Amino acid sequence: MLSILSLAMMAVVLRTAAGFAATTTTTALKPSPAPALSQEWETMFPPSTRPLTVLDHVSTADMVVFQQPHGLGSLYRHMMRHAIYKLKDGTVIVYNPIAPTEETLHETVQTFGREPDHIIVPTNSYEHLVMVPGWTRRFPNAVFWSLPGVELDGAQISKDLTEESLPGSGELEIAVMDASPLLQECYLLHRPTKSAFSIDSFNWIADEHIASSLGGAGIKAVGGYNRPHCSTKMLMWNRDNCRRAISRVLSWDFDKVIPTHGVCPIPNAKEAMTEAFSFLDA
């Protein structure tokens, strides 16, 4: 019988296998406006030496997507992304915050000329939660949102993230996927750009993303390679809840997915997502 530690290690492998990446397939990246600022951050998988970048090809006047490379030498490399949204009333929201380097925090304020009002942490994954303390220290007045039962270290103001409680006056919507104790995350819809943001359960890793043979083996082990796929099937124990969450996502009006890892954006997103999660109806 699997121990809790074994299950936790399995979760780490499954949730990060899809992130073994060397670069992205796109070329529409520009260097950060502040490359001289520190990119250092002490963690097991720190940002690598390449700078934080803005994904111009998916960013708009009210949504800016940042990409940050992480890695452990040549063994493990992947991209982490977050989005900053400016709502019609001027509210600024950071979704899925990446590593809080000096550079990242500076660019967060520079993006829309003000500090974020809300910071949303849409997952229970340690890979993402480890980012939070640097954000709570830098932006103590922001409202931090997390899934019920997920504590955010250092947050002065925190609220439960549910499908009924979300800032945005209708511009944003979420679908909560409570797949298992090891996999809880949200999908986010940004109506003005017709884009959905995914965390770990839906992405697309192509040949050029593989940093090592170990990375390739990890991706192939979870059944996803050179196509949009669900990389967390083995953690999706509550099929009814997963099916409900994906049905909610597919009911939205969107034409692209911005994933935390891999190819960005994922085109023909509804068709790709329908196929990737077809196993839920098997």
Structural domains present in the chain: 4-281 (3.60.15.10)
What are the C-alpha distances in Å from 153 to residues 7, 66, 146, 181, 184? 24, 23, 11, 19, 18
pLDDT score for 204: 76
- The model's pLDDT over 61-80, given as tens digits with 9 standing for 90+, comes to 999 999 988 765 555 567 88
What are the C-alpha distances in Å from 246 to residues 176, 235, 273? 9, 15, 8
Residue 90 has pLDDT above 60, yes or no: yes
| Listed range (23-27, 117-121, 214-218, 244-248) with the worst mean pLDDT | 23-27
- The model's pLDDT over 146-190, given as tens digits with 9 standing for 90+, comes to 999 998 988 888 999 999 988 877 899 999 999 889 889 999 999
Chain mean pLDDT for the chain: 80
The mean pLDDT value for 20-37 works out to 44
